[in-house]
């Protein structure tokens, strides 16, 4: 067992400075010895067998269970050694790994069959965790999606504000009073931004009880309850039409079997001269399956699409693609900020839940950052319309709108749209 695991690790870690202590107490060193030292220890033979059989799932699983420990460095340091040491992902090309991937791919339809009731359960699994947890690592507006780093020196608060500004600019909000549907509105930050700085009338829909309660309180606290309304409602059940649609970080929960239904519903909800902005995680390579650990423990029913999977459903809906932007590495930087904030307040997270939960979330945040930094994940921002003349001829209007919004924020005080801490208490 130890000889097989040693050979397996040797093929992956070709550079770096990794020490591995096996369950029999023996240690070996891997890599060229340069860089930050990392030391991982297997506490059980079961964990060693798991890593040999299916490292994609069992590394996170057994780390959460305490059967794998980090003696030196942290999980991000270890994953950096793995992904930079095996840039071609050779371990995933091994016959048994390809067989596991093929089987999971065949089962993908069942895993992502997100009918309304199942969608609600999946959302509750993650987003109905106590709000105090999210206060530990998110920005003050509780933006739980990729930020937009306009400069390398921007902090998380600035980058999340820039994300809302960037999305709003692409929505071509040409006059006050436009009606907007926010599909998957989270804790209400995007909706409140559009109402505050662009005079929009916004309906936000969510399947999370926790998010709904807080979003409604936020609207009341800033006096926007009449202009911004939040509902516990599946996007499939919305009946009104809107001038603008926006969806940020929700499409990942739709599931491939429902892509046609999603875009056909968006086409129905969007007025003929309207504009939609879809912001979603995407993959840069071919269609695949959701990471097994993430699927089981973090986002059940979730899937990150390739662009080739999204485009046909859009085409069949009758909507026209008017702009696509790929945000590279922005989510890696967002996740880095979240991970560092979470780890700085880890003891508080443990007080809310337990050690196993903290280890699970350490792996989730570190693994997700690694996927955006060294693997195949990016952000797609897709602008859609019925009429190709619904937006200006060139993209200059985006930068002009951002500059205008920046000036409005400074005049009105962007802090108005931030998350009121009292609401989480």
pLDDT over 60 at 215, yes or no: yes
Residue 95 and residue 60 share a domain: yes
Residue 120 and residue 147 share a domain: yes
CATH of the domain at 81: 3.30.1050
Give Cα separations from 283 to 25, 146, 327, 381 (angstroms): 40, 14, 11, 13
Residue 208 lies in a domain: yes
Section 377-397 average pLDDT: 97
Domain-terminating residue out of 50, 77, 106: 106
Residue 301 and residue 163 share a domain: yes
Residue 151 and residue 99 share a domain: no
Confidence grade of residue 70 (pLDDT, cut at 50, 70, 90): very high
Show the domain range for 97.
2-106
Residue 305 lies in a domain: yes
pLDDT of residue 417: 39
Section 364-373 average pLDDT: 96
Query: When comparing pLDDT for 289 and 336, which is higher?
Result: 336
In the block, residue with structure tokens 């009292």? 422
How many domains would you assign to the chain? 2
Residue 168 and residue 64 share a domain: no
Section 214-231 average pLDDT: 95
Residue 111 lies in a domain: no
What are the pLDDT digits (tens) for 310-358?
A: 999 999 999 999 999 999 999 999 999 999 999 999 999 999 999 999 9
pLDDT over 90 at 13, yes or no: no
Residue 130 and residue 87 share a domain: no
Residue 155 and residue 46 share a domain: no
Residue 49 and residue 160 share a domain: no
Residue 326 lies in a domain: yes
Domain-terminating residue out of 106, 128, 148: 106
Residue 313 lies in a domain: yes
**334-354 b/e with 16+ CB inside 10 Å = b?**
bbbbbbebbbeebeebeeeee
Residue 207 and residue 63 share a domain: no
Residue 65 and residue 122 share a domain: no
Residue 95 and residue 123 share a domain: no
Domain-terminating residue out of 84, 106, 128: 106
Section 91-104 average pLDDT: 59
Confidence grade of residue 422 (pLDDT, cut at 50, 70, 90): very low
What are the pLDDT digits (tens) for 244-258?
A: 999 999 999 998 889
Phi (first) and psi of residue 354, to 5 degrees: -160, 180
d(CA 315, CA 259): 11
pLDDT of residue 12: 85
pLDDT of residue 299: 84
CATH of the domain at 381: 3.40.50.150
Separation of first and last alpha carbons in the chain = 50
Residue 80 and residue 148 share a domain: no
Q: Nearest to residue 324, comparing CAs of 264, 378, 243? A: 378
């Amino acid at each position: 067992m130890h000889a097989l695991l040693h050979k397996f690790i040797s093929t992956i870690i070709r550079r770096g400075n990794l020490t591995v202590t096996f369950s029999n107490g023996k240690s070996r060193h891997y890599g060229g010895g340069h860089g930050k030292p990392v030391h991982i220890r297997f506490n059980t033979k079961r964990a060693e067998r798991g890593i040999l059989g299916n490292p994609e799932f069992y590394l996170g699983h057994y780390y959460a269970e305490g059967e794998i420990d980090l003696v030196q460095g942290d999980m991000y340091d270890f994953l950096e050694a793995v992904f930079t040491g095996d840039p071609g992902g050779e371990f995933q090309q091994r016959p048994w790994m390809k067989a596991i991937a093929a089987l999971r791919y065949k089962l993908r339809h069942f895993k992502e069959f997100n009918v309304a009731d199942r969608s609600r359960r999946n959302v509750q699994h993650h987003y109905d965790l106590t709000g105090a947890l999210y206060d530990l690592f998110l920005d003050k507006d509780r933006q739980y999606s990729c930020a937009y780093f306009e400069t390398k020196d921007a902090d998380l608060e600035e980058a999340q504000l820039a994300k809302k500004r960037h999305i709003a600019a692409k929505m071509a909000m040409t006059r006050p009073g436009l009606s907007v549907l926010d599909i998957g509105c989270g804790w209400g930050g995007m909706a409140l931004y559009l109402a505050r700085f662009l005079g929009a009338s916004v309906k936000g829909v969510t399947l999370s009880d926790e998010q709904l309660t807080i979003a409604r309180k936020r609207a009341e606290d800033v006096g926007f309850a009449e202009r911004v309304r939040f509902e516990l409602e599946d996007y499939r059940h919305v009946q009104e039409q809107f001038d603008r649609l926006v969806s940020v970080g929700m499409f990942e929960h739709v599931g491939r079997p429902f892509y046609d239904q999603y875009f056909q519903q968006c086409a129905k909800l969007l007025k003929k001269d309207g504009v939609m902005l879809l912001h979603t995680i995407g993959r840069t390579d071919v269609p695949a399956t959701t990471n097994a650990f993430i699927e089981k423990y973090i986002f059940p029913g979730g899937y990150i699409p390739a662009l080739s999977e999204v485009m046909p459903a859009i085409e069949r809906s009758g909507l026209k693609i008017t702009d696509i932007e790929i945000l590279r590495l922005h989510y890696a930087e967002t996740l880095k900020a979240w991970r560092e904030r979470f780890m700085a307040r880890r003891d508080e997270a443990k007080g809310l839940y337990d050690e196993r939960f903290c280890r699970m979330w350490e792996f989730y945040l570190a693994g997700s950052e690694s996927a955006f930094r060294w693997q195949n994940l990016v952000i797609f921002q897709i602008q859609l319309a019925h009429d190709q003349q619904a937006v200006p001829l060139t993209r200059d209007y985006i930068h002009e709108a951002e500059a205008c919004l920046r000036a409005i924020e400074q005049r009105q005080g962007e802090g108005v749209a931030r998350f009121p801490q009292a609401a989480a208490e």
